[in-house]
Amino acid sequence: MRHATDPDHVIAVTTIVSNQRNSMRAALIGAFWGLGHTLTILVVGAGIILFNLVIPVRLGLSMELSVAVMLIILGLWNVAGFVRAVPAGSIEDHEAEKVVHSHPHSHGGLVHNHPHAHQHESHSDSPDHIPLDWMDRVFGKVSLYQYVRPLVVGIVHGLAGSAAVALLVLTTIRNVHWAVAYLLIFGVGTIAGMMVITMSLASVFRLMASGRQKFSRRLALASGLLSLGFGLFVAYQICFVNGLFTNHAQWIPR
């Protein structure tokens, strides 16, 4: 359960539940994230424990880099959603705003101006031009559609921590069957911890953004920017500090 509170985990699920106000649905999002995380931990961890698999340094760093890429994608997703929502909000807020300009006219050799005021034209985006809306229309009737994203995010996050968990188990539990059981219990704890986190986030967001649509959108933007910034920071650490793209790669599973 403590593993679920790692910064990259919390930031990732925050971007997903930032627009979710239903605590039960938020809990399911956390459960699917934990399920994806557990699947990867079991597959990779069991391979290390049962078959003595050795993960090369650059492959291990690449697995951790996938988490940074996922955080960047989630951040961009939220920022893009905010940008799409801004025009509609701007039109509502400035509904009565007018554009004033003038045209010169000549009458009897005299040139003078006639000012004119025009209302802002409102343009609605067609859903066909928004990929995510198109996906919602196509897959919206599938009940598990909204939970596929946290499942995939959980699977990717499991790549980064699977080796460290397996090595931790090997140093404390010599029996391979109990070691695999440890991974399973670890996964159950992660699912429970993430469900608590997502439910708590959704409850806080509901209280803070109740009746305030602008605040809700800004909250989604803030979570997106946080995810984007943290993802870029992690990517820099892996690619250059830990040496994925250099000749001196160093990887310590954790």
Question: Does residue 97 lie within any of the structural domains?
Answer: no
pLDDT tens, position by position, for the chain (254 residues)?
A: 999 999 999 999 999 888 777 889 999 999 999 999 999 999 999 999 999 888 999 999 999 999 999 999 999 988 988 887 775 544 444 444 444 555 555 544 444 455 555 544 444 444 444 444 455 555 555 667 678 889 999 999 999 888 888 888 988 898 999 999 999 999 999 999 999 999 999 988 888 876 677 777 888 899 999 999 999 999 999 999 999 999 889 998 87
Radius of gyration (C-alpha) of the chain in whole angstroms:
25
Count the neighbouring beta carbons within 10 Å of the beta carbon of residue 212.
11
Q: Is residue 79 part of a domain?
A: yes
User: 82 lies in which domain range?
Assistant: 3-90+126-241
DSSP letters, 212-246, are -HHHHHHHHHHHHHHHHHHHHHHHHIIIIIS-TTS
Report pLDDT for 167.
85
- The count of domains in the chain is 1
Using CB atoms within 10 A of its CB, is residue 23 exposed (0-12), middle (13-18) or buried (19+)? Answer: middle
Q: What DSSP line would sit under 121-185, residue for residue?
A: P--PPPGGG-HHHHHHHHHTTSTTHHHHHHHHHHHHHHHHHHHHHHHHHHHH---HHHHHHHHHH
Q: So what's the pLDDT on residue 115?
A: 55
Domain-located, residue 120: no
In a domain, 118, yes or no: no
Position 109 in a domain: no
Residue 159 lies in a domain: yes
Q: Phi first, then psi: what are they for 114, rounded to 5°?
A: -115, 110
The residue among 43, 39, 44 whose CA lies nearest residue 59 is: 44
Q: What is the pLDDT of residue 141?
A: 57
The answer to whether residue 246 sits within a structural domain is no
Question: Does residue 158 fall inside a structural domain?
Answer: yes
Q: Are 76 and 249 in contact (CB under 8 A)?
A: no
pTM of the model: 0.77
